[in-house]
Chains A and B, each alone.
Chain A
């Protein structure tokens, strides 16, 4: 391998310009004249498209131009001399403007002498360094536009009248209907004097307008379009080669026909065909012409297609690349690893490595890795000699390599427990989509992920896969550990609250443990706490019975994992504000006891305390006690939750949504009443007695009233049903504590599903004045317009089922549309903002140093370090101070 690292040259600037036919010929290694590629013996034909002077692609051969071998020879251009000039597809607009801005006979820009002088002066005066290119661009554009509008050549020695030029997509120019050949166009462009080019947007030092009309075509080196040999032995050529073959064939025929004096019509046809082939050679998706196709019917991938779009060179090979030291597999949950960890399956741990520089202190350790080799776990896959030579460890050579190993070598050892890796799930929409984890090598074949990490990655376990990247440098690992570790991302920069937090059973478990403070005997209390990091003296038991048996309350058990000195008071998720707070046990109060140990005094621990997005307690601990304490607390709280829920037992079934017959009757009555009310509105509407609401038509009024009546009826039904669904009910525990589901879900299961809507309205669609043939025409009643009286438990009748599907389908379509739209929006935003950063002086600047904000977010406040948009949490300070005084 050649090392490019000492090449002492740096690119200072890049200039883009037009290439002249002379230059094409000058840089050409050979002229290409024949459309054939290989002869019968399989050797490339001289002056064919695979001419050996264009570079080497077969190993062992030497380049006929530069004498180098494969990979050393960069490849060399050839060229095709075109029989007739052809328009370059990429410049059609500019050609049109240049033709229209200049005189058709004398070629000068159609502006009077003094105007030209003024403009030249302005161009020469553009001096502000950073603004120059843009200013010149807009100025030359406006000069062109001014000249296009002039109808008569203003030069006194000419005075030719202009004719309007139109462009027929993609490459046909007409002058008042008369077709202009590329040859004529080229002649006109040749007449534009070089001194005037600067006015209309060309730099005469590097470009001439007639070069936009091709007379010779560069042929890219074979290295750019290598042919591949299939297993069958057949050669398969690159799409570009195919296209060049077409160009050569037509070019040859055009030349023969022209030289033999064939009829003008035939020559013109061939000329146009040549234009087609060259146009599609540049861009096979040019609008206005059919794309050139392969024999199989597949459109050819020509030059523009190689670069453009998501699969193009820029987006898929330059902005994004495939990388080594990475792994991807399905994820599955493991609630007993830390949020900072990731479970890595053994087969992946045997493949991913970390370079380890051997020194006198780790020499023995390094020997151990090499000794175990590549398929015993903490082993090694490669050793790298000081001269840079990589040696793969195999079963056979590991003894010899072990002897060679010495200080200064690098051992690529397997990743082990505690190594820092990056973990990522697409789509990577925010910075928490890629976080640093500590490795835990495990059995199995999946990555293991603790559940609080699911919300930031938006991951679930229905087959999701994630990527893992193994950091290769000490500096990278240190940096990742300090700024990318999961625990550093518990608080979100979006809203300042936790994005990483307890979910689902963690919340149900903690709720059951703490709500109404159930008692646990010593063994159970110990069992729950044994899963946490708690060490030290147990808090006093809540109760000691007459036999001397000790019982700990759930709140006391939970208090063990709280850091000392917490003062907090906030409503829990079950807090309604209208019941008896004492009896409901719904207000959370946490205060230090006399020893300074924090105690959960009242209230349950639920979503509002430890949940992702809402957990106030978690947020406070991370903010006031730091991310280490936050991680420890979250790990402990989730484990307490899991242990408690396993110990106490928790299950739910469809019978939880059972409600007594009497409740069902009441719901039925409510719904029937509402339906009657809607019928009443319909009757009023039909007889013209309906009073329109301000600003609405009669029809709208009816719809609004119907929606409101039925909506209220649905809520009523829900309320009736939920009276029978108390906190003994598992489904209700989940809904009220914020673990999963909502009371609406439950009331739809046991009460009434309610109005189905499409585009925010009752179902309107259908034929001949009705939604379904089950109803009378013009029926505006509840059932005919998509009100579902049934509940999920009892089941829907056929018409209800149909309406429900309509509403459901809209939901699906909306999500699909939303994701694609927001994805594109995200891309545009990132492209615009990716180079912005906050500097130490709190200004926001881009890479060129231009200031975007003088103070980050106007106030210079980091949301993760502020209290809900305030830099300081006054309330909290006052509360703490008051408690301490009291």
Chain B
């Protein structure tokens, strides 16, 4: 077995967390959108894997920003690549 490596511990990887249903509802209400209009993240993404995220869940990414201090990003977990 290879030594386990957790990407989330690397300082360059921003904090990822799975949002609760209520948080997601609030987020969608804030932006007036449905889930499908969120940016996506693959289930196979190292961070999504580390969180054991399931399709349909939303991952919150808290990034540090040189201009804004901190900024949040949200991605919908999907199973497969869907883009062109």
> Hey, which bits of chain A sit against chain B, CB under 8 A?
128-131, 134-135, 138-139, 841, 843, 845, 848-852, 854-855, 857-861, 869
Contacts and interface: CB of A to CB of B under 8 A. Distances in A.
A841 B65 CA distance: 20
23 contacts: A128-B36, A130-B36, A131-B36, A134-B82, A134-B84, A135-B80, A138-B80, A138-B81, A139-B80, A845-B37, A848-B37, A849-B33, A850-B38, A851-B33, A852-B39, A854-B31, A854-B71, A854-B72, A854-B74, A858-B68, A859-B65, A859-B67, A859-B68
Contacts of A858: 63, 65, 67-68, 71
Interface of B: 31, 33, 36-39, 63, 65, 67-68, 71-74, 78, 80-84
Nearest to A841: B31
Contacts of A134: 81-84
A859 B71 contact: yes
A869 B68 CA distance: 10
Given A135-B80, A857-B67, 18 more contacts: A128-B36, A131-B78, A134-B83, A134-B84, A138-B81, A848-B37, A849-B37, A851-B33, A851-B37, A851-B38, A854-B31, A855-B68, A855-B71, A858-B67, A858-B68, A858-B71, A859-B67, A859-B71
Closest CB pairs A-B (n = 5): A859-B68, A134-B82, A858-B71, A859-B67, A858-B65
Contacts of B81: 134, 138
Contacts of B82: 131, 134-135, 138
Contacts of A135: 80, 82
Contacts of A851: 31, 33, 37-39
A615 to B, nearest CB: 24
Contact of A850 (B37, B68, B78): B37
Contacts of B74: 854
Nearest to B69: A859
Contact of B73 (A139, A848, A854): A854
A869 B69 CA distance: 12
A287 to B, nearest CB: 24
A857 B67 CA distance: 9
Contact of B31 (A131, A138, A843, A848): A843
Nearest to B65: A858
Given A128-B36, A850-B39, A861 B80 contact: no
A731 B67 CA distance: 41
B30 to A, nearest CB: 9
Contacts of A131: 36, 78, 82
A861 B68 CA distance: 9
A852 B82 CA distance: 16
Contacts of B80: 135, 138-139
A130 B38 CA distance: 12
Nearest to A849: B37
Contacts of B72: 854
Contacts of A857: 67
Residue among B65, B67, B74 with most chain A CB within 10 A = B67
B31 to A, nearest CB: 6
A719 B82 CA distance: 62
A568 to B, nearest CB: 25
Nearest to A871: B67
Contacts of B31: 841, 843, 851, 854
A130 B33 CA distance: 13
Contacts of B73: 854
A581 to B, nearest CB: 33
Contacts of A138: 80-82
Contacts of A845: 37
Contacts of A843: 31
Residue of A135, A854, A860, A861 with highest tally of chain B CB at under 10 A: A854
Contacts of B68: 855, 858-860
